Structure 1
Amino acid sequence: MLFNSLHFLVFFPVIVGLYYGLPARWRGALLLLASYYFYMSWRAAYALLLLGTTLIDYYSGYRMGQLATKRERRPYLYLSLVSNLGTLFVFKYFNFFRDAALQVAGTLNLPQAAIPAFELLLPVGVSFYTFQSVGYIIDVYQGRLEAERNLGRFALFVAFFPQLVAGPIERGGHMLPQYQRTHSFDYARIVSGLRLMAWGLFKKVVVADRLAAFVNPVYNNPQQHPEGPLLVLATLAFTFQIYGDFSGYTDMARGAARVLGFDFNLNFRQPYLSASVPEFWRRWHISLSNWFRDYVYIPLGGSRVQPARAYGNLLAVFLISGLWHGANWTFLVWGGLHGLYLVASTWARPLRQQLAQATGLAAHPRLRRSVGVLVTFGLVAYAWIFFRANSLGDAVFISQHLLSGWSLSSRKTASLLLEFSQHYRPELAVAVFAVLLMLGVEYFGRARSLQDWVVARPVGVRWVGYAGLCLLILYLGIFNSTSFIYFQF
């Protein structure tokens, strides 16, 4: 079931009505049943996998809560890690590592074992709910969080439908207390949640899905579009497509949870206004960045070790992050690029200070930041090539041809651009308008949350804006139930 589907349009109001109509003691059971129904709408059998993860981690956490020392808790930590990471490995990474091992064996002329491939459909959201559950287990093991003793409450923490398949990745300390509270009907909060859902739907169906019309023809057949201008256009389109798609999902998830009385953490904060790559990762997919920081980077030693090892820690974290996104060399390269960006940013910090002094940018902080935003945007957009490309060969081809065909005298390039723009003229105009509107609204609301910015407008202005947003969604949106990009992870 997709947030941008008719199925969800019927499902969600029914759940909200039942939720506020039932006595408080039955609401948790309703949400749990609704969450499993939501998940089973994709593939019912994989609900057993979700249930298995829940039961093992509940038992592991419960047993650790009865033990005083880390040494006593450790077997249960290992039980959880092996079951969760083993599930990810079997469903997501087995074939990738199998193929890599066979390629290495073939290159070294070693005998190749007959290892069968697993023809398994990747369970939707498995990377998100396993990471959320693992974070809970580690917090209990470390003594930062008390084990949840109520099985139903823990099951809802793992499976709550707004965030089940694409995050945000929440922490037990933030969400579990919320499941113990009784949420009364609050008109202002519900309006706030619906407003956030509408804004997320706009970013998905008007921005992201329309930009896909430019991205997919080029990236699915890059050899047929070897001219740099088309490749740059498609790359820029994907840069905003993935933001509209993923942040749109997050807005809808946060809005749906808010309608029901729950609060999810912010997952995006105008990431393309970042003046450095480290700042970008403090603004993009914040819940995953924080997860890797707390559960991988800091345990590896973080920045408290010698510089060479700290750089190695950064690279390791981003290579793992790339692999988390998908079992493909393209994602490893994407993660490695961002790891190198962060290493270079950390290493070159004194050099940047000297350069700013020498060029006079230090005396003009706004200009300096603007330059930083442009450079960071370019680096991030380039890395998206490897994220979006269907293969490493396609990504390399696109990278090699980005600068080709830019001569103004090139009739072939001009005719290609003219043909492309004429074919997509209506969609291009709508897409450009939608992107500018999205960026403009979020830019003017950047000093505080977008919700607060909207609430501060006069009531008449607000309702005109609501009506306009709904009309834009209805008339400009693409409602073909296009899946969200991050569902594949």
Structure 2
Amino acid sequence: MLFNSIDFAIFLPVVFILYWFFTNHNLKLQNLLIVVASYLFYGWWDWRFLSLILFSTLVDYTIGVLLSKEENVTKRKIFLWTSIIVNLGFLGFFKYYNFFLDNFKTAFTFFGGEISSGSLHIILPVGISFYTFQTLSYTIDVYNKKLEPTNDFIAFTAFVSFFPQLVAGPIERASNLLPQFYIKRKFEYSRAVDGLRQILWGLFKKIVIADNCAELANQIFNNSGEYSGSTLVLGALFFTFQIYGDFSGYSDIAIGTSRLFGFDLMRNFAFPYFSRDIAEFWRRWHISLSTWFRDYLYIPLGGSQGGMWMKIRNTFIIFIVSGFWHGANWTFVIWGLLNAIYFLPLLITNNNRNNLHIVAEGKFLPSFKDFIKISVTFSLTVLAWVFFRAENVTHAFSILAEIFSPSIVESPKFFDLKIFALLIFFLLIEWVGKSYHHPLHILDSVKSRLLKHTLYLLILFVIYFYGKNDVTLDFIYFQF
């Protein structure tokens, strides 16, 4: 079920009414309703894969219980690795089986051999990369005794399958989300209003920004051989705003929807395109994944505690694994590697934590120095996105070769004035609200109801008249 569909527009208010008015504020009934609603939400796409979520839930719930009763170090490690192998095993089979098989066949042929084996027609379950990491966080935290294991199976099932963030995050930690299912929740009007505002902004990002940019980005990337370097730059820019509007838009809708039901999810995006260096960008982009890898991979590998060589090694591991997490294609690995190379000078010079606060905080305009830093960081990010969007490595390099050719000075095609006006409006709202968790939260400080409702109506007007409203345009991260 898509957030930008009529189905969800009916589903959400029905669940909301049942949740607040027909459960009599009974915690167990509310959690049970969330489980039923979440399974219906996911099963709307393909009910067959509900068994995967249920199996993963049963495995990690059982292992959590076993860990609570076991003090033997060896047995505890066996339980932990059982969870890791089962969860990553499912993820590896559905997401990477054909990738590894094809690369094995290629390598075998390269050394003079020949192997005959057919790829499987495997359907990738939506959201498997997200809920797999979410359940793993529970098992790892229980193993490390950072979290008490739960005996409430309904609450745990609700945590794993919570429908707002089930298929594209944020990837919640058990330590943050699971305890919220134990606490009695009450409806708060101000919280719900802010949730609706964040949903509105998320829909604007997806329907107006992402889907309009997607139409042009797809046209350019799918026919890249026909266009000049200047047009390909436009294509990369369109994709840059498409992926941000699409993914952060999903996160906004997920977080806003959760607030309607009394839950607080972690922030997933913090205006990353206003970053002054790559380190700051990665503190602001897909925060739930970046911090997951930091806590469950980077720190266990030694983090920054060793010498410079260990820091460099661990940084490259994190970025490459992050790239591979996104999909079974070498383009994602190179995208991760390229970001690691961007990050390296900051790490070596110990400048990777210089920009911890939002740029130009309390000011309308950035300094000239900050403007140059933002421009350089944004340009490097756009360049890396070419690999993320390209069909394969050859396709990516052919696009970059044309971009860095004399055709870069030709007049570009697809210079759509409407799109650029929408992007300017979008960036202006984001810039003004950059000090808040989402830009429309700034309206809390606006006393004029007329001004507030005028802005709401303006955004709705733009969504209605300029949004694509095409539910065939899935959220990009559904494929990851």
Query: Which residue, out of 165, 173, 176, partners 1:174?
Result: 176
Q: What CA distance in whole angstroms lies between the structure 2 residues aligned with 1:429 and 1:367?
A: 27
Q: List runs of 5+ in structure 1 lacking aligned partners.
A: 354-364, 422-427
Query: Which residue, out of 146, 153, 159, partners 2:148?
Result: 146
Equivalent residue number for residue 362 of structure 1: none
The answer on whether the counterparts of 1:60 and 1:80 sit within 8 Å (CA) in structure 2 is yes
C-alpha displacement of 1:385: 0.2
For residue 444 of structure 2, what is the amino acid of its counterpart? V
Query: Which residue, out of 449, 453, 474, partners 1:463?
Result: 453
Query: Which residue, out of 37, 42, 46, partners 1:43?
Result: 46
C-alpha displacement of 1:454: 1.5
C-alpha displacement of 1:479: 1.0
When structure 1 is superposed on structure 2, of 7-16 and 180-189 the one drifting more is 180-189
For residue 446 of structure 2, what is the amino acid of its counterpart? R
C-alpha displacement of 1:163: 0.2
Instruction: Say yes or no: does 1:6 pair with 2:6.
Output: yes
Q: What CA distance in whole angstroms lies between the structure 1 residues aligned with 2:327 and 2:152?
A: 34
Query: Which residue, out of 84, 87, 102, partners 1:84?
Result: 87
C-alpha displacement of 1:70: 4.0
Instruction: Say yes or no: does 1:196 pair with 2:198.
Output: yes
Q: What CA distance in whole angstroms lies between the structure 1 residues aligned with 2:421 and 2:258?
A: 29
Equivalent residue number for residue 230 of structure 2: 229
Q: What CA distance in whole angstroms lies between the structure 2 residues aligned with 1:69 and 1:336?
A: 40
Instruction: Say yes or no: does 1:130 pair with 2:132.
Output: yes
CA-atom RMSD, angstroms?
A: 1.7
Equivalent residue number for residue 359 of structure 2: none
SS of 1:196 mapped into structure 2: helix
| Aligned CA distance change for structure 1 residues 407 and 442 (closer, same or farther; 3 Å) | closer
Equivalent residue number for residue 475 of structure 2: 484
| Aligned CA distance change for structure 1 residues 407 and 432 (closer, same or farther; 3 Å) | closer
The answer on whether the counterparts of 1:229 and 1:405 sit within 8 Å (CA) in structure 2 is no
Q: What CA distance in whole angstroms lies between the structure 1 residues aligned with 2:463 and 2:110?
A: 53
Query: Which residue, out of 443, 464, 469, partners 1:454?
Result: 443
Provide Cα deviations, 1:433-476, integer angstroms capped at 9, x if missing partner: 22212211111112233354121112221111112111211111
| Aligned CA distance change for structure 1 residues 429 and 129 (closer, same or farther; 3 Å) | same
The answer on whether the counterparts of 1:331 and 1:387 sit within 8 Å (CA) in structure 2 is yes
SS of 2:213 mapped into structure 1: helix
Q: What CA distance in whole angstroms lies between the structure 2 residues aligned with 1:115 and 1:146?
A: 46
Q: What CA distance in whole angstroms lies between the structure 1 residues aligned with 2:251 and 2:441?
A: 18
Q: How does the TM-score come out when normalised to structure 2?
A: 0.93
Provide Cα deviations, 1:77-134, integer angstroms capped at 9, x if missing partner: 011001000001110011111111111111111353x444221100000000000111
Instruction: Say yes or no: does 1:165 pair with 2:206.
Output: no
The answer on whether the counterparts of 2:195 and 2:255 sit within 8 Å (CA) in structure 1 is yes
Equivalent residue number for residue 356 of structure 1: none
The answer on whether the counterparts of 2:230 and 2:408 sit within 8 Å (CA) in structure 1 is no
SS of 1:42 mapped into structure 2: helix
Equivalent residue number for residue 100 of structure 1: 103
Equivalent residue number for residue 314 of structure 2: 313
Q: What CA distance in whole angstroms lies between the structure 1 residues aligned with 2:142 and 2:432?
A: 41
SS of 2:398 mapped into structure 1: helix
Query: Which residue, out of 431, 455, 472, partners 2:462?
Result: 472
Query: Which residue, out of 187, 190, 197, partners 2:189?
Result: 187
The answer on whether the counterparts of 2:194 and 2:441 sit within 8 Å (CA) in structure 1 is no
C-alpha displacement of 1:72: 3.2
When structure 1 is superposed on structure 2, of 82-91 and 213-222 the one drifting more is 213-222
Equivalent residue number for residue 382 of structure 2: 381
Provide Cα deviations, 1:135-169, integer angstroms capped at 9, x if missing partner: 11111110100111111111111100000000000
Q: What CA distance in whole angstroms lies between the structure 2 residues aligned with 1:115 and 1:157?
A: 40
Equivalent residue number for residue 360 of structure 1: none
SS of 1:264 mapped into structure 2: coil
For residue 105 of structure 1, what is the amino acid of its counterpart? F
For residue 466 of structure 2, what is the amino acid of its counterpart? L
Provide Cα deviations, 1:195-251, integer angstroms capped at 9, x if missing partner: 1101100000000000112100111121122x1110001101111111111110000
Q: What CA distance in whole angstroms lies between the structure 2 residues aligned with 1:235 and 1:373?
A: 17
SS of 2:186 mapped into structure 1: coil
Equivalent residue number for residue 433 of structure 1: 421
Q: What CA distance in whole angstroms lies between the structure 2 residues aligned with 1:279 and 1:265?
A: 18
Q: How does the TM-score come out when normalised to structure 1?
A: 0.91
| Aligned CA distance change for structure 1 residues 49 and 350 (closer, same or farther; 3 Å) | closer
The answer on whether the counterparts of 2:402 and 2:408 sit within 8 Å (CA) in structure 1 is no
What count of residue pairs does the alignment treat as equivalent?
Answer: 462
Q: What CA distance in whole angstroms lies between the structure 2 residues aligned with 1:111 and 1:391?
A: 24
Instruction: Say yes or no: does 1:29 pair with 2:28.
Output: no
For residue 263 of structure 1, what is the amino acid of its counterpart? D
For residue 67 of structure 1, what is the amino acid of its counterpart? E
Q: What CA distance in whole angstroms lies between the structure 2 residues aligned with 1:438 and 1:222?
A: 27
Q: What CA distance in whole angstroms lies between the structure 2 residues aligned with 1:97 and 1:393?
A: 19
Equivalence map 1:30-429=2 (5 Å): 30-112=33-115, 114-225=116-227, 227-349=228-350, 366-406=367-407, 413-414=410-411, 417=412, 420-421=414-415, 428-429=416-417
The answer on whether the counterparts of 1:206 and 1:431 sit within 8 Å (CA) in structure 2 is no
The answer on whether the counterparts of 2:105 and 2:114 sit within 8 Å (CA) in structure 1 is no
For residue 47 of structure 2, what is the amino acid of its counterpart? A
Q: What CA distance in whole angstroms lies between the structure 2 residues aligned with 1:350 and 1:232?
A: 30
C-alpha displacement of 1:69: 4.9
C-alpha displacement of 1:403: 2.5
C-alpha displacement of 1:348: 4.2
The answer on whether the counterparts of 1:206 and 1:477 sit within 8 Å (CA) in structure 2 is yes
Q: What CA distance in whole angstroms lies between the structure 2 residues aligned with 1:57 and 1:323?
A: 24
Q: What CA distance in whole angstroms lies between the structure 2 residues aligned with 1:234 and 1:164?
A: 30
When structure 1 is superposed on structure 2, of 201-210 and 101-110 the one drifting more is 101-110
Provide Cα deviations, 1:152-198, integer angstroms capped at 9, x if missing partner: 11111110000000000011111111111222222211111111101
Provide Cα deviations, 1:247-267, integer angstroms capped at 9, x if missing partner: 100000000000111101111
The answer on whether the counterparts of 1:145 and 1:173 sit within 8 Å (CA) in structure 2 is yes
Q: What CA distance in whole angstroms lies between the structure 2 residues aligned with 1:115 and 1:54?
A: 33
